Amino acid sequence: MSQDNVSIHGIWASRWVFILAATGSAVGLGNIWKFPYMAGVYGGGAFVLVYLICIALVGLPIMLAETVLGRRGRRSPVNTLRNLAIQAGASARWSWAAVMGMIAALLILSFYSVVAGWSLDYIIGMGRGDFVGIDGEGAGARFGALTADPLRLSLWHTLFMLVTAFIIARGVVAGLERSLRIMMPLLFVLLIILLGYSLTTGHFMQGVEFLFHFDLASVPDGILAAMGHAFFTLSVGVGSIMVFGSYMPKKSSIGGTVITVALLDTAVALTAGLALFPIVFAAGLEPSAGPGLMFVTLPIAFGNIMLGQVFGLLFFVLVAVAAWSSAISMLEPAVAYWVERTGWTRVRITCLVAFLCWVVGLGTVLSFNLLADARFFVTDEAGWHLFKWTEQGGKTFFESVDYLTSRIMLPLGGLLFAVFAGWVLGRDVFRAELALRHPRLFPVVYCLLRYVAPLGVLVVFVTELFK
């Protein structure tokens, strides 16, 4: 079965389509929205350094492992792991790692859709001229008004989820490819234009300094956050890359492909940071603003430059598109699995799964307003509470889902995928599927996969426990 050259769900035309799809999955809100604000919250340079190390030593090997497993198994991640485990004489329970990943991806989608919805609201705002001449206070107030309004948030959340489901229902191979070919390069061009603008703010070096100034004392604080974000930003640990790998043509090299995707993702994140922070400083704002960073500071810049309305509108269109190309990759593992399992049509399964995510996403919508005081994981004088009504401490529903997925489920899923590929699949199978162009590199790659990546995840987990 593993020798199949096709998946029942379809096959990419070439490895370039895999790069397109995997880059579409990787490049998203994580790069443009999350990376800059996390670097802000965790103090810049130290976070960025740990993040880059995690990408190279942990994220990349796991991405490789997922791609190899997917193409070898040719099924949804759950069935891929089950089949490959049975073939290797191991327990079919390995498939549970992919079940966890599948659930993590759906949980991420539930809040991702809400945040992506903000960018839809901003497209309209830009189009209407809401931001012309706006200052820091005005931009903050507009963002506050949006997040305080559950109906408005739900509307955009619903729209974003509907479009995501529509694309997935039509089939990833046919529906996506064409739009990605136009939108992804546009995203890159726009980021570069924005970077060019930030070079003219006179605060560019302050941004560089903030992102790359390294201060050892602040490392421990952001270390789990940085590793979690490395997983999130590369879309690894959930099976999204694995499912895309299962649609990859047999005769194409995996190594270079995966490195390309990781480099593009990292480049976009750093460019977004370099474009954003000078604007933050020029506007006299604090980089530690949190999730609102992109939605408060960027509009100020756009509101005060020539043609800012046009660029601002295009920028948020492209944020939305980048988010859509990621969102579909979160839905795909589950849809592929349930289609295999039930034999129902793709359309029917997509509707069911997307509806489920939509409902969970309402929790995130309400966590910004009506249920803002519903907190999980609260520590106070009275001890530790899983749940408590309080205005202070703990995590809102949105923060909890983000925390559980990025910091726990993704690293754990990635760890299991790496251990499976490195220790269970078998050296010869892995080597044959990988088919490196420079076979002498194989021992290095295999060592990264077997030892460095799993130990990296474990060390970070343990560090967190004893912090």
Cβ 436 to ligand PFF shortest distance, Å: 25
Q: Does 326 bind ligand PFF (CB under 6 A)?
A: yes
Question: What minimum distance in Å lies between the beta carbon of 237 and ligand PFF?
Answer: 8
280 touches 460 (CB < 8 A): no
How far, in Å, CA of 4 to CA of 310, rounded? Answer: 49
Is 339 in contact with 349 (CB distance < 8 Å)? yes
The number of residues that bind ligand PFF (CB under 6 A) is 16
Are the CB atoms for 94 and 81 separated by under 8 Å?
Answer: yes
Asked if 329 touches ligand PFF (CB under 6 A), the answer is yes
**Residue of closest CB approach to ligand PFF:** 30
Structure tokens at 252: 């194409």
Q: Does 76 bind Na ion (CB under 5 A)?
A: no
Output 46 or 236, the one with its CB closest to Na ion: 236
- Per partner kind, with CB cut-offs from 5 to 8 A, the member of ligand PFF, Na ion, none near residue 25 is ligand PFF
| Beta carbon of residue 108, minimum distance to ligand PFF (angstroms, whole number) | 5
266 near Na ion, judged by CB under 5 A: no
What's the rounded Cα separation, in Å, for the pair 280 and 300? Answer: 9
Q: How far is the CB of 259 from Na ion (least distance, A)?
A: 15
Six-digit token pair at 458? 């474990």
Q: Is 156 in the site for ligand PFF (CB under 6 A)?
A: no
Interface segment toward ligand PFF; rule CB under 6 A; list 159-167, 326-334, 356-364, 426-434: 326-334
Cβ distance 228 to 409 under 8 Å?
Answer: no
Per rule CB under 6 A, is residue 147 in the interface with ligand PFF? no
Site membership for ligand PFF, residue 235 (CB under 6 A): yes
Q: Does 238 help bind ligand PFF (rule: CB under 6 A)?
A: yes
- Closest separation between CB of residue 395 and ligand PFF, Å? 19
Q: Which does 329 bind (CB under 5 to 8 A by kind): ligand PFF, Na ion, none?
A: ligand PFF
Min dist CB 186 to ligand PFF, Å, is 17
* Spatial contact of 421 and 70, defined as CB atoms under 8 Å apart: no
Residue 258 interacting with ligand PFF (CB under 6 A)? no
Q: Which is nearer to Na ion, 84 or 238 (CB)?
A: 238
Token pair, residue 293, equals: 């960073």
Does residue 31 interact with Na ion by CB under 5 A? yes
Q: Could you tell me the two tokens for 220?
A: 């421990």
C-beta of 30: minimal distance to ligand PFF in Å?
Answer: 2
Give the residue, chosen from 42, 111, 143, 232, that forms a contact with ligand PFF under the rule CB under 6 A: 232
Binding mask 213-252 for Na ion (x = CB under 5 A): --------------------x-------------------
Q: Which entry of Na ion, ligand PFF, none binds 240, CB below 5 to 8 A by partner kind?
A: ligand PFF
Long-range contacts of 14-18 (CB under 8 A, 24+ apart): 14/249, 14/252, 15/248, 15/249, 15/252, 15/253, 15/257, 17/173, 17/177, 18/67, 18/244, 18/245, 18/247, 18/248, 18/252, 18/257
| Phi/psi-derived region of residue 307, left when phi > 0, alpha when psi is between -120 and 50, beta in every other case | left
- State in angstroms the smallest separation of the CB of 234 from Na ion: 6
Among residues 363, 383, 382, the alpha carbon closest in space to that of 113 is found at 363
Contact (CB, 8 A) for 375 and 390: yes
The secondary structure of residue 441, as a DSSP letter, is G
Contact characters 23-62, ligand PFF, x per CB under 6 A? --xx-xxxx-------------------------------
Q: Which of 15, 18, 30, 55 binds Na ion (CB under 5 A)?
A: 30
Q: With CB under 5 A, what is the number of residues at the site for Na ion?
A: 5
Q: Could you give the string, one character per residue 101-120, with x where binding to ligand PFF holds by CB under 6 A and - elsewhere?
A: ----x--x------------
Which stretch, 121-129, 230-238, 354-362, 413-421, contacts ligand PFF (CB under 6 A)? 230-238
Coil, strand, or helix at residue 383? strand
Give dist(CA 24, CA 27) in Å, integer. 5
- For Na ion, the closer CB: 188 or 423: 188
CB 330 within 8 A of CB 147: no
CA atoms within 13 A on the CB side of 24: 26
Q: Which helix (H) or strand (E) holds 388?
A: strand 383-389
Residues 6+ apart with CB under 8 A from 357: 106, 109, 110, 113, 161, 331
Tokens for 450?
């077997």
Nearest distance, CB of residue 258 and ligand PFF, angstroms: 14
For residues 8 to 27, the per-residue mask of contacts with Na ion, x marking binding by CB under 5 A and - elsewhere, is ------------------x-
Q: Using CA atoms, how far apart are residues 27 and 319, in angstroms rounded to an integer?
A: 10
Residue 443, CA distances (Å) to 59, 434, 436 in order: 18, 12, 11
The helix/strand/coil state of 367 is helix
Q: Which residues, listed in sequence order, are joined to residue 383 by a DSSP beta bridge?
A: 380
Query: Contact 395/377 with Cβ under 8 angstroms?
Result: yes
Interface ranges with Na ion (CB under 5 A): 26, 30-31, 233, 265
Which spans of this chain sit near ligand PFF (rule: CB under 6 A)? 25-26, 28-31, 105, 108, 232-233, 235, 238, 240, 326, 329-330
